[in-house]
Amino acid sequence: MAKLYFYYASMNAGKSTNLLQADFNYRERGMATMLFTAAIDDRFARGTITSRIGLTQPATAFDALTDIEACVLSRHAAERIACTLVDEAQFLTAGQVDQLARLADVHDIPVLAYGLRTDFQARLFEGSARLLALADSLVEIKSVCQCGRKATMNLRVDHEGRPVAEGRQTEIGGNDRYVALCRRHYCAALAGTEPVSAG
């Protein structure tokens, strides 16, 4: 029976790298996959999953109106899809996560979703919340704080490296806008009691 997996982590933990490795493993064995990434993430080429270590792969860009289930089933009718992989899964709607669950449960197509658990204010994203509720398997990808402990929080910083506590939930950025920290250093940075180090 196929499963829905949610691989979650803080920023810069290697989620896209892990996804691209999993995709490569399927394709190396002659199995077709279908990749999705959030259309809102415009840091690199639209419709491309790009890891920080330079790996890239074309993907179908999704937004809130994309029927992911229909996209996969349409392609599955032409060639058997062995696995569906979703990058930036925090940007999925709850309904789209339900679609991913149906792909696994009804159509026996495994789904591997990779994304952030929480935003810069330590609040769950809609997609992540639904994945935490529905996924058959929850896998944390480890990242490291400036102190060496596990990083679980995403601190947003301004252009001068100062912590940002307010703003829109979604603001695309990389190391220039976000720092992965343990909870202790995240809280200390917001309180202004300890400096932030981007590494």
Q: Are strands 56-58 and 178-181 parallel, antiparallel or unpaired?
A: unpaired
10 assigned ligand-binding residue:
yes
Q: In three state form, how does the secondary structure of the chain look?
A: CCCEEEEEECCCCCHHHHHHHHHHHHHHCCCEEEEEEECCCCCCCCCEEECCCCCEEECEEECCCCCHHHHHHHHHHHCCEEEEEECCHHHCCHHHHHHHHHHHHCCCCCEEEEEECECCCCCECHHHHHHHHHCCEEEECCCECCCCCECCEEEEECCCCCEECCCCCCCCCCCCCEEEECHHHHHHHHHCCCCCCCC
Catalytic residue check, 126: no
129 assigned ligand-binding residue:
no
Q: Cβ atoms within 10 A of the Cβ of 167, count?
A: 12
15 assigned ligand-binding residue:
yes
79 assigned ligand-binding residue:
no
90 assigned ligand-binding residue:
yes
88 assigned ligand-binding residue:
yes
89 assigned ligand-binding residue:
yes
135 assigned ligand-binding residue:
no
182 assigned ligand-binding residue:
yes
Rounded CA separation 12/160 (Å): 20
Rounded CA separation 116/126 (Å): 11
Please identify which of the residues 28, 69, 79, 88 carries the catalytic annotation: 88
99 assigned ligand-binding residue:
no
87 assigned ligand-binding residue:
yes
21 assigned ligand-binding residue:
no
Positions at the binding site for Zn(2+):
145, 147, 182, 185
Residues with catalytic annotation?
Answer: 88
Positions at the binding site:
9-16, 87-90, 145, 147, 182, 185
Positions at the binding site for ATP:
9-16, 87-90
